[in-house]
Chains A and B, each alone.
Chain A
Amino acid sequence: MLKYVIKRELQHYLYSLVFQISFLLITAVFIVGTIAFLKSYDAKIQEYSKYNVEFTNGLKNTAESNASNLAVRRQTFVSKPRGNGFIADCKEKYLPNNFIHSAYNVFGFEVRSGSVNPFLNNFQELNWSFIVSLIMSFIVLLLTFDTISGEKESKTLAITLSNTISRGTLLWGKYISVIMVTMLMLIIGIILSILIVIISNKVALSFISVIEILYFILLSFFFISLISAFGILSSVIVRKSNVSLLIALTFWLIFVVIIPNSSMFSAKNIFSIEHSDDINEKVSKARDDINRNAPEGSWAASGGNPFLPEHELRADNQTNLMNSEMNIRNAYYQDMFRQLEKTRLLTMISPISLFEYMNEAVVGGGYLRFQKVWNDLHSFQPQFLQFFKELDANDPDSPHWYNPYENYSTTKKPVNFEQVPLFEERIISLEERFSFILKYLLVIVIYTAVIFFSSFVLFVRYDVR
C-alpha cells in the first residue's frame, strides 16, 4: 500500500509547478555558484602562494642572519584557501584567519585585513550549503505545506481515507516521497556542480573529497527530512491550505531570518564577555606592576656584549611580562570561544543554523578549522622552542638567557633554514569530523522524530470533512 501512495505522490510532485520552477532555479544556482567559486578560488590561491613565498623568504633571511631573531620573530600563519569551498565556505572570510606566534608563545588571532571588501554587504557564498539550507528548505516547505490541508480542500483526502489505508501509512508515504523528490533535485545539482569542478581542473578531487560529498548528501538528507516534517506539521495544524502556507512561511522566516540574525544580540547580552578595552587595561596594569617590582638594571642592554649581567634580569623581566600578558589574554580567548559555542548552541533551534554548523564538520572548515589550527599551533610552539634551545645550547657564545622578545642574550649564529621546523596546517581527519557530526546528527534525528510524531498525532485526529 505504501508503495502505491509513494508512486502517486511522486507523480503528483514531479508534474507540479513547484518542482519545475525549483528544478530550474536550483540547477541555475548550482552552476552559477560553482563557476563563481572556481573563479575566486583561483585568484585566492595565487594570492596565497605569493604571500607564502614572501613570508618564507622573510623567514629564511632572518634564519640565515640570526637564530635568535628567528625565534623571537612574530610569524603570521595564514590558513590556506579551501578547495572544497564549493560545498560550504563556513563564512571563513569573516572569521579570524591570521594566527600570530613565535617560538615562545602563540599570541593571538585576527581577521586578515583585506580578506573582505568593507564596502560590500555581508553575504553568503552560493555554495551547496547555501543552496540546501536556504533555497531547498524553502522549496521543501512549498512542496509540503498543503500535503494534508490541500488534499482536504480538493476533497481527495476523504476518498483516499475511505480505502483500507491507514492514516500512518498515508502520512509516511507522503513524507518519503517529498524527501525523494527533493533529494533527486539535489543530487542532479550536485552532479552538475562536480562535473564543472572536474572539467575546470582547478581543484583536485581526492578520496577525501568523495567522502566529504557523501557526508554532505547524508546530512542534507537528514536536514530535508527535518524541514519536510515541519512542512507536514504546518499542513496538519490547520484545515485551510492558505493558512498552512502562512504557518510554513513563518517557520521558515524564524529559522532563516530571526534566529540567525539575533545571534549577535544573544551573544552580547546573554553570554556577554568583558570588553577588549578592559582586557587591554588589565594587561597594561599587570605590565606596570611587573616593571615597578623588577630589580634595578632590568632594562639595561648592550648589543655588543651578550654576557652583560643585566641581560639575565632583562630576559627574566621580559618572560614575566609575556607570561602575565598571555595569562590574561588566554583566559579572554577562552571566554571568546565559550561565547561563540554557547551562542551556537542556542541558535541550533534553527535547523538552518544547525545544518550550517554540521557542514563545518563535513568540509573541515569554519570554527572547527580555526580551533584545530589554534590547538595545533599550541602544540607546535613548544617543539619550535625546543629546537631553538638545542641550537642555543650548542653555542658557547650564548649565555642561554631566554628572552622572548629580544635577541640580546641567546645565540646569534645563523641557522640552516632547512632544519627549521615550520608550522603546517593538518586537515581535520575524517574520524574527528565524524565524531563531531555524530553529536549534531543525534540532535537532528531527535528533532525530526519529535516534529514528525507531533504531525502524526495531529493527523490521526484530523477532521477530513
Chain B
Amino acid sequence: MIFSIAKKDFLLNLVSSRFVIGFLLCLFLIPFTLMVNIDDYSEQLRVYTLDKAQTDKNFKEVKVYSKLRPEIVKPPEPLTIFSGGISSNVGNRVKIWLGEKPLLATGKTAIRDNPLLNSFFSIDFIGIIAIVMSLLALIFTYDLCTGEKEEGTLKLQLSNSISRYKILLGKVIGVYLILLPIILFCYILSIIFILISPNIQFSAGDWGRICLLFLTSILFLSIFIFIGLLISTRSHSSRVSIIVCLFFWVFFIFIIPNLSVYMAESFIKVQSRDNLQYALDDLNREYGEEWDEYEKTLKRPDWGRHWNHSWGRDGYQELYGTSKSRYEYYRQSQEFKEPLRIDYADKKWAFQKAYLDELDKQKNLAEMISLISPSELFRLVCSAFCRTDVNSHYRFMDRTRIYREELINYFKDKKIFSSFSYFTPVPPETFMTADEIVRIRSGGEFKNNQEYREWVRNEQAKGTSMRSISASLGKVDIPETDPNAYSYLDLSDVPIFQLHFGDILTDLKECLFKISASILISILLFYLSFISFIKYDVR
C-alpha cells in the first residue's frame, strides 16, 4: 500500500511544472558551476606549476647554507571543485625562515591578479546543491498534506482502511523517488565533467570522498524534506505552508551564513596585524641589542675588504675572497647569531600564536552560530571531506612548522651554524691571510698588509681618488674569489617537506558529531511531523 501511494505521488510530481522547472534549474546551474570551478582549478594548477618550478629551482641553486630557505608550495586540491571551503582565502605558499615561524600562508590563491575582483564572490558545487536541493525539497513537500486536503482527496484516502502513517511514509518515499534522481543526476554530471577535463586527476580516496559527499547530500536533503513535511502537517493551507517554508529557506541559506560571520567579526575583537608587527619589531630590537653586546666581545678582523659579498633576509650571507681572520669573524658571529634568532623565533611565536588564537576564536563563534542552519552544517561537513576546511589548513600549517624544526635539527646535527659552509663555499684550507691577499693581488707590489695600509694613507693624503687606490689591488685575480667557480651544495640529505593528508576515516571521525547531529535532527523532524500528521484535521 505504501508503495502504491509513493508511486502515485511520484507520477503526479513527475508531470508537474515544479519538477520540470527544478530539473531545468539543475540542468543549467550544475554544469555552469562545474565549469566555473574547473576553470578556477586549472588556473590554480597553472600557477602552482609555475611556482613549484620556481621554488624547486631556488631550492637547488644554493651555494651556502644560509641561503637554504625552502619554500613550500601546496598543490591545489582537486576536490575544491566540489567545495572550496576557505581555500580561496588562505594562501598556498609558506617560506621557511629560521627567524620566524610560519604564521599564515601567502601566495596567489590569497592575492589575485586583480585585487579589485576580490569584491566578487564565487560559489562552488556544494553551495549550489545546498541552495537548489533545499529549495526543491521544500517545494515538493510544502503541500504534502495541505495540497491533498485542499483538493479533498486526503479525506477520500483516509476513509479507506489505510493507516495514517502508511500514507505519510508513502508520500515521503514519493518525494525521495523524485528528488534522488535529481541529486544523482547532479553528481553524475559532475563526474562526467571531471572525467572529460584533461588536467584533473582524482585518486581512489578522492572518489571515496565524492561518495561521502553524495551520502551527505542525501542526509542534507532529508533534513529539508522533513522541515517541509513538518511545516506542511502543521499548517492548514498550502499558501501559508509555502510562505513559511520559503522564509525558513531564505533564513537558513542566505541570512545565517552572513549573520554568523558578521556577528563573530563584530563581537570578537582581533588585534590588528599592525599590533602584532609592533610586538615583533620590539623583539627584533631586543635581539639586535643582544647581538651588539656580543659583537663587542668578538675580535675585530684585521682586514675589511671582500671581493664578493651578497646578503639578505634571515641571515643570508654569501662571502668570497676575504681574509682568514674575516671569515673567522663571520663564522663566530653566525655561530652566536643563528641559534639566538631561532630562540627569538620561539619568543615571537608566543605573540603570533595569540593572534592565531584570536582568529580561531572568531572562526569558532562564526561556526557555532552558523550551525543553526542545516545548510551551513552541510557545507562544513563537505569542506572537511574535501580537505578545504579550516582544520585541514591548520594541519598543513602545523606540518610546515614541524618541517622547520626538522630543518633546524638538520642544521644543528651537521653543526652547520659553526661551519664556514654556512656563508661561503670557499674551502677553509684555501683561506688566505691579509698579507697573502695583498701580495698576490698587487702582483708583488706590497709585501704585506701593513705596507699596503701605509701606502693607502699616503695616497689619501695626496688626494688620489678612491678608484685608483682600489685599482692597486686589482692587478692579479685570485681564482677562489669568483662565485662561479663553485658548484651548488649537495642537498640530498636535507629533509624534504611531505604533505600528509589524513585518510577518509580521520576526516569522518572529525565530522562524526555533525553528521550524527544531522541524523538526529532529521529523525526528530520526521517524528514531529508524524505526530502532527496523526492529529491532522483533514476537514
Q: Which residues of A contact B255 (CB under 8 A)?
A: 29, 126, 134-135
**Of A36, A142, A273, which contacts B263 at CB under 8 A?**
A36
Is residue B76 contacting chain A, with contact meaning CB distance below 8 A? no
Q: Which residues of A contact B239 (CB under 8 A)?
A: 17
A383 CA to B207 CA in the complex, in Å? 62
Is residue B270 contacting chain A, with contact meaning CB distance below 8 A? yes
A33 CA to B258 CA in the complex, in Å? 10
Q: Which residues of A contact B247 (CB under 8 A)?
A: 21-22, 25
Is residue A267 contacting chain B, with contact meaning CB distance below 8 A? yes
- Chain B min CB distance to A116 (Å): 7
Is residue B189 contacting chain A, with contact meaning CB distance below 8 A? no
Q: Which of B17-25, B164-172, B212-220, B315-323 contacts A (4 or more CB under 8 A)?
A: B17-25
Q: Which of A61-69, A335-343, A448-456 contacts B (4 or more CB under 8 A)?
A: A335-343
A303 CA to B489 CA in the complex, in Å? 36
Given A119-B363, A245-B242, A95:B115 Cβ within 8 A: yes
Q: Are B43 and A116 in contact (CB under 8 A)?
A: no
Q: Which of A216-224, A257-265, A412-420 contacts B (4 or more CB under 8 A)?
A: A257-265
Q: Which residues of A contact B120 (CB under 8 A)?
A: 260-261, 263-264, 267, 343
Q: Are A54 and B121 in contact (CB under 8 A)?
A: no
A37 CA to B263 CA in the complex, in Å? 9
Q: Are A265 and B254 in contact (CB under 8 A)?
A: no
For B264, the closest partner residue in chain A by CB is A120
29 contacts between A and B (CB under 8 A): A21-B244, A22-B247, A51-B274, A54-B278, A94-B119, A95-B118, A96-B116, A110-B115, A114-B270, A116-B89, A117-B270, A118-B104, A119-B86, A120-B261, A124-B262, A130-B258, A135-B255, A242-B238, A246-B18, A246-B139, A253-B131, A257-B123, A257-B128, A260-B121, A261-B121, A262-B32, A265-B36, A267-B117, A340-B116
Q: Which residues of A contact B242 (CB under 8 A)?
A: 242, 245
Q: Are A111 and B363 in contact (CB under 8 A)?
A: no
Interface residues of A in 279-309 (CB under 8 A from B): none
Q: Which residues of B contact A118 (CB under 8 A)?
A: 86, 89-90, 104, 110, 359
Interface residues of A in 1-41 (CB under 8 A from B): 17-18, 21-22, 25, 29, 32-33, 36-37, 39-40
- Chain B min CB distance to A131 (Å): 10
Q: Which residues of A contact B507 (CB under 8 A)?
A: none
- Interface 0/1 of B480-507, CB less than 8 Å to A: 0000000000000000000000000000
Is residue B360 contacting chain A, with contact meaning CB distance below 8 A? yes
Given A118-B86, A123-B258, A36:B114 Cβ within 8 A: no
For B376, the closest partner residue in chain A by CB is A121
Given A117-B270, A119-B390, A246-B21, A366:B265 Cβ within 8 A: no
Is residue B273 contacting chain A, with contact meaning CB distance below 8 A? yes
Q: Are A25 and B251 in contact (CB under 8 A)?
A: yes
**Of A18, A36, A336, which contacts B116 at CB under 8 A?**
A336
Q: Are A119 and B362 in contact (CB under 8 A)?
A: yes
Given A21-B244, A110-B115, A123:B261 Cβ within 8 A: yes
A277 CA to B262 CA in the complex, in Å? 34
Nearest 10 A/B pairs, CB to CB: A114-B273, A40-B266, A123-B261, A36-B266, A94-B118, A261-B123, A119-B363, A263-B120, A91-B119, A118-B89
Which residues of A are interface residues toward B (Cβ below 8 A)?
Answer: 17-18, 21-22, 25, 29, 32-33, 36-37, 39-40, 43, 47, 50-51, 54, 90-91, 94-96, 109-114, 116-126, 130, 134-135, 138, 142, 240, 242-243, 245-247, 249-250, 253, 256-258, 260-265, 267-269, 273, 275-277, 336-337, 339-340, 343, 366-367, 370
A117 CA to B261 CA in the complex, in Å? 10
Given A54-B278, A123-B262, A336-B114, A258:B32 Cβ within 8 A: yes
Q: Are B262 and A340 in contact (CB under 8 A)?
A: no
- Chain B min CB distance to A139 (Å): 9
Known pairs A47-B272, A261-B122, A265-B122; list 5 more (Cβ under 8 Å).
A114-B270, A118-B89, A122-B89, A264-B121, A267-B120
**Of A25, A50, A94, A262, which contacts B274 at CB under 8 A?**
A50
Q: Which residues of A contact B272 (CB under 8 A)?
A: 47, 50-51, 114
Is residue B286 contacting chain A, with contact meaning CB distance below 8 A? no
- Chain A min CB distance to B144 (Å): 14
Q: Which residues of B contact A370 (CB under 8 A)?
A: 116
A121 CA to B50 CA in the complex, in Å? 27
- Interface 0/1 of B40-70, CB less than 8 Å to A: 1001000000100000000000000000000
Q: Which residues of A contact B128 (CB under 8 A)?
A: 257
- Chain A min CB distance to B311 (Å): 17
Which residue, A113, A118, A119, A336, has most C-beta atoms of chain B within 10 A? A119
Is residue B408 contacting chain A, with contact meaning CB distance below 8 A? no
Q: Which residues of B contact A37 (CB under 8 A)?
A: 266
For B135, the closest partner residue in chain A by CB is A249
**Of A25, A33, A273, A366, which contacts B113 at CB under 8 A?**
A273
Which residue, B86, B114, B132, B363, has most C-beta atoms of chain A within 10 A? B114
Q: Are A36 and B262 in contact (CB under 8 A)?
A: yes
Is residue B250 contacting chain A, with contact meaning CB distance below 8 A? yes
- Chain A min CB distance to B242 (Å): 7
Q: Which residues of B contact A39 (CB under 8 A)?
A: 266-267
Q: Which residues of A contact B2 (CB under 8 A)?
A: none
**Of B121, B264, B275, which contacts A122 at CB under 8 A?**
B121
Q: Are A126 and B116 in contact (CB under 8 A)?
A: no
A21 CA to B240 CA in the complex, in Å? 11
Is residue B283 contacting chain A, with contact meaning CB distance below 8 A? no
Is residue B342 contacting chain A, with contact meaning CB distance below 8 A? no
Given A246-B139, A256-B254, A268-B39, A111:B115 Cβ within 8 A: yes
A369 CA to B207 CA in the complex, in Å? 47
- Chain A min CB distance to B25 (Å): 6
A316 CA to B29 CA in the complex, in Å? 57
Q: Which residues of B contact A257 (CB under 8 A)?
A: 123, 128, 131
- Chain B min CB distance to A75 (Å): 15
- Chain A min CB distance to B322 (Å): 21
Is residue B257 contacting chain A, with contact meaning CB distance below 8 A? yes
A197 CA to B519 CA in the complex, in Å? 43
Q: Are B117 and A340 in contact (CB under 8 A)?
A: yes
Q: Are B17 and A337 in contact (CB under 8 A)?
A: no
Q: Are A117 and B362 in contact (CB under 8 A)?
A: yes
A111 CA to B272 CA in the complex, in Å? 14
A185 CA to B131 CA in the complex, in Å? 27
For B237, the closest partner residue in chain A by CB is A17
- Chain B min CB distance to A272 (Å): 9
Given A246-B139, A261-B122, A268:B43 Cβ within 8 A: yes
A245 CA to B120 CA in the complex, in Å? 28
Q: Are A121 and B116 in contact (CB under 8 A)?
A: no
- Interface 0/1 of B209-244, CB less than 8 Å to A: 000000000000000000000000000001110111
Q: Which residues of A contact B123 (CB under 8 A)?
A: 257, 261
**Of A120, A258, A265, A336, which contacts B362 at CB under 8 A?**
A120
A43 CA to B269 CA in the complex, in Å? 7
Which residue, B40, B108, B113, B264, has most C-beta atoms of chain A within 10 A? B113
Q: Are A119 and B393 in contact (CB under 8 A)?
A: yes
Q: Are B118 and A262 in contact (CB under 8 A)?
A: no
**Of A94, A134, A246, which contacts B254 at CB under 8 A?**
A134
Given A261-B123, A340-B117, A121:B17 Cβ within 8 A: no
- Chain A min CB distance to B364 (Å): 9
Q: Which residues of B contact A273 (CB under 8 A)?
A: 113-114
Given A113-B273, A257-B123, A367-B119, A119:B89 Cβ within 8 A: yes
**Of B18, B22, B43, B240, which contacts A242 at CB under 8 A?**
B18
For A241, the closest partner residue in chain B by CB is B239
A247 CA to B20 CA in the complex, in Å? 12
- Chain B min CB distance to A357 (Å): 10
A25 CA to B265 CA in the complex, in Å? 21
For B110, the closest partner residue in chain A by CB is A118
Is residue B512 contacting chain A, with contact meaning CB distance below 8 A? no
Q: Are A111 and B117 in contact (CB under 8 A)?
A: no
Q: Are B21 and A250 in contact (CB under 8 A)?
A: yes
For A300, the closest partner residue in chain B by CB is B467
